[in-house]
Structure 1
């Protein structure tokens, strides 16, 4: 990301306390946080939320973070079509479905998604996964609201 900068085309998020709250959340569940859930899975979830919400800032940041964590580039590129894939483990597939259910918040479909999570994850991991997805939804929407527009340096 050294050659990419972002311009806020709508507002400065530091004008309200909301940005500070988002930064505090990121410390505990963001991409540099130390959690019990697998770091690569956490990064895939962050990137999937960025894809679903079409956030340029988050797509660039979390694609780079995925590569930095050693997630194979084909897996990163293939993430948008995960339901059609054999590249993801059963636990990853369940977590991605949960991620999408929580992001879209399908009231009818969400309880079975949570139940499926219990076959692969501890209560703590499920709570962390929910926090990761919620945090990413907060950040993607904040960046979209402020108009974080990428500008490539030449």
Structure 2
């Protein structure tokens, strides 16, 4: 994230050791964790949560992480319209639907979203998908609450 720094505009989450709690979870399912699901899919899920929650910090970080994982730029650009894009395969679509359902949870019928995953992923992979989405929701909400905003250097 060259040329960008981040500033807190609301509060420092370390006042209550919040970062420590979040970092503990990130070690298990964050973008540097060793998981059973494909790394590119994990990055798409993280980035989709960041998009849905409009977290500047997470959008910048996870767009770069997706690039670093080899996710094509066009696929990243089409992520908000994954339902209409032919760039996403059926397992990715099932995982993205689940991701959106778990993030927004105002979608009717969450159970079918979970059931759709079982056609493409085993139980451990489904647990990882859920944990990735939950972890990203924690981080996006933390960054939004603390008011972390990007500032261009120079």
The bucket for the TM-score relative to the shorter chain is over 0.9
1:49 alignment partner in structure 2: 49
Shift of 1:91: 0.2
Quick one: distance in 2 between partners of 1:68 and 1:52? Answer: 21
Equivalent runs, 1:5-44 vs 2, <5 Å: 5-44=5-44
DSSP-derived class of the 1:102 partner: helix
Q: How far 1:133 sits from its partner (Å)?
A: 0.1
Structure 1 runs of 4+ aligned residues shifted over 2 Å read none
- Once the two structures are TM-superposed, the CA of residue 108 in structure 1 deviates from its matched residue by 3.4
Q: Counterpart of 1:123?
A: 123
Cα RMSD (Å) of the superposition? 0.8
The two structures have a TM-score, normalised by structure 1, of 0.98
Q: What displacement does 1:29 show?
A: 0.3
Secondary structure class of the residue paired with 2:65: helix
Shift of 1:107: 6.4
Structure 2 unmatched runs, 5+: none
Q: How does 1:1-154 map to 2 (within 5 A)?
A: 1-106=1-106, 108-154=108-154
Unaligned runs of 5+ in 1: none
TM-score scaled by length of structure 2: 0.98
**CA displacement 1:31-83 (0-9 Å, x = unmatched):** 00001011000000000000000000000000000001110000001101111
CA distance in 1, matches of 2:134, 2:29: 10
Which has the higher mean CA deviation after the structures are superposed, 32-41 or 13-22?
13-22
